[in-house]
Amino acid sequence: MQNNIRNFSIIAHIDHGKSTLADRIIQECGAVTERELGTQMMDTMDIEQERGITIKAQSVRLTYVKDGQAYILNLIDTPGHVDFSYEVSKSLASSEGALLVVDASQGVEAQTIANVYIALENDLEIIPVINKIDLPAADPDRVVEEIEQTIGLDCSGAIYVSAKTGVGIRELLDAIVDRVPPPSGDEDAPTKAIIYDSWFDNYLGALALVRVFDGSIKKGQEVLIMGTGKKHQVLDLTYPHPIKPTKTTEIKTGEVGIVVLGLKNVSDVAVGDTITDAKNPTKEPVGGFQEAKPFVFAGLYPIDTDKFEELRDALDKLKLNDASISYEPETSVALGFGFRVGFLGMLHMEVVKERLEREFGLDLIATAPTVIYRVKLTDGSEVEVQNPSEMPDTGKIDKIYEPYVRATIITPKEFLGNIITMMADRRGIQEKMEYLNEDRVMLVYAVPMNEIVVDFYDKLKSATKGYASFDYEPIDYREGDLVKLDVRVAGDVVDALSIIVPREKAQFRGRELVKTMKELIPRQLFEVAVQVSIGNKIIARETVKSMGKNVTAKCYGGDITRKRKLLEKQKEGKKRMKAIGKVHLPQDAFLAVLKID
């Protein structure tokens, strides 16, 4: 039984055809009927279907017959976007093999390289798959050569397929059976399984998707979750499938399955935790993948302030399905009670906000995203700052350190000048420049995380007409000449709009910010000053003119002193309003901070 199991993942750069290939493999194995077959069956979320991207790694158990023998194939489809590389590392820790899918027309991209290195770290058998060979621009031989040169992977056994038309799928399945090793593990040892995904079901509670390394999990068995030290009864077991999961009474060594423990508390099944037998536990937990560390932080606040507890509940449930988010409560003078949430990148932030709004019916405001800074104080101590409003006073700061990332950009050579200019503008330090072939160049830069966190990906795509690909990994903290910009509306600091910027860009960013805010703040009955300051020094100001009511409309003709008296009275009223008036800021004002170029 164990020798006939194959666990494998599909890895690739974004849009190279992973999910379509997964559909063809499912179809070829006869796991769905023609009527049930959809497109991107493994992308089950609405947001995945709409955006055309994979966000969550999904699993399916398939049966494939070769030479009269039945094989169990556990396929894990993984995301391609840089923000979801955490999902890739989880999946690869549970596999023995990986299909490296590369587009036959586009060739090796930045994320291709990053994913291969994760697979190599996990000692996986990598099968190169050249996809989209049906395209007019396809050049599979060039791509094979590129893979060998760039990654150093032997491509003599590369499989040429078209996931769209189904060409080469049977050869690929044969290669999986022949080349991916069966799972190793001791069937008679105590139960040892890793939780590599989990989610919340309204009827069944918290569900855990597990890969069994030793022993087996049986229905009715009492299991121990090693991270929490809690014991639970196994209520049900199923094999994963996008349409019709199959129930079973036992998940054996090397298999992948869903464990139902009937847990109401979502924190009891943490991704990366080990499940073992309660009476005869295993000695060591499964080593696997590192915990995801958020890079980008933003405040999420409910527009309706009464919904704070609902937001907490929604984040608890979402964390079960997306273990890479972190959150803690925070308050803001402008926005009330909310959470400081940590994300892996900007797309991840957009997706989490959209999922919270769709799946849990919330209306949310997100503040400007920031990264974690390390601040060395004059007394020698060091503090970490996630939120610009927590930045200590200028007089207490000795040095500010900011996180740097290593960015890998692959681009056609005609856009090289655009990228070099763009990276210089974002304080990037070039580490490497290498021609992959006569047309494509790979650039490696060390760049501050703060510079790529907001609109970098959009700007890169604009500068290269959409042809460049981009990937990054965190490297270290380096000293930076940074200042905090505070936005003051009618004299009050709006803490949710504070941002940290390089000193040389502070004047420009401040001026742009007040100009944008002036357009967005609705006119009041009194004059409103919008200012940007560094500490107590104002560096930019705009004034939102007051709405004037025509108090002299009823005075036609007659004595001028009557009109003057009314105008003076109006002036006094406006002065009083200015002293006590409150300005309501629309959500657009908070989003404006992101749009300052």
Contact 214/192 with Cβ under 8 angstroms? yes
Which amino acid would we find at residue 585? L
What residues form DSSP beta bridges with 211? 194, 256
* Partners of 265 in beta bridges: none
- Find out whether 11 is annotated in a ligand binding site: no
**227 assigned ligand-binding residue:** no
17 marked among binding-site residues: yes
What would the 3-class secondary structure string for 11-43 be?
EECCCCCHHHHHHHHHHHCCCCCCCCCCCCCCC
Q: How far is CA 450 from CA 375, 401, 496, 500, in A?
A: 15, 11, 17, 9
Residue 425, annotated ligand binder?
no
Cα separation, 204 vs 269, whole angstroms: 14
**Distance between CA 162 and CA 134 in Å, rounded?**
6
Half-sphere exposure in the Cβ direction for 39 (13 Å, CA): 10
16 annotated ligand-binding residue? yes
The residues, any chain, with a CB within 8 Å of residue 550's CB and separated by 6 or more, are none
* DSSP-assigned beta bridge partners for residue 5: 72
Closest CA to 124 of 132, 115, 111: 115
Q: Rounded CA gap, 388 and 466, in Å?
A: 33
Q: Which two tokens stand for residue 516?
A: 């944008």
Alpha helices in 430-556 (DSSP H): 449-452, 456-463, 503-520
325 alpha-carbon distance from chain centroid: 9
Write down the H helix ranges in 248-374: 308-321, 346-360
Residue located via tokens 């990228």: 419
Q: What angle (nearest 5°) sits at the alpha carbon of residue 401, between those of residues 400 and 403?
A: 145
Do 532 and 485 contact (CB within 8 A), yes or no?
A: yes
- 550 belongs to an annotated ligand binding site: no
Measured CA to CA, the distance from residue 251 to residue 220 in angstroms comes to 12
CA distance 428 to 565: 62
Residue 89 annotated in ligand binding: no
**Secondary structure (H, E, C), 168-186:** CHHHHHHHHHHHCCCCCCC
Known binding residue 131? Answer is yes
Binding site listing:
15-20, 131-134
Binding site listing for GTP:
15-20, 131-134
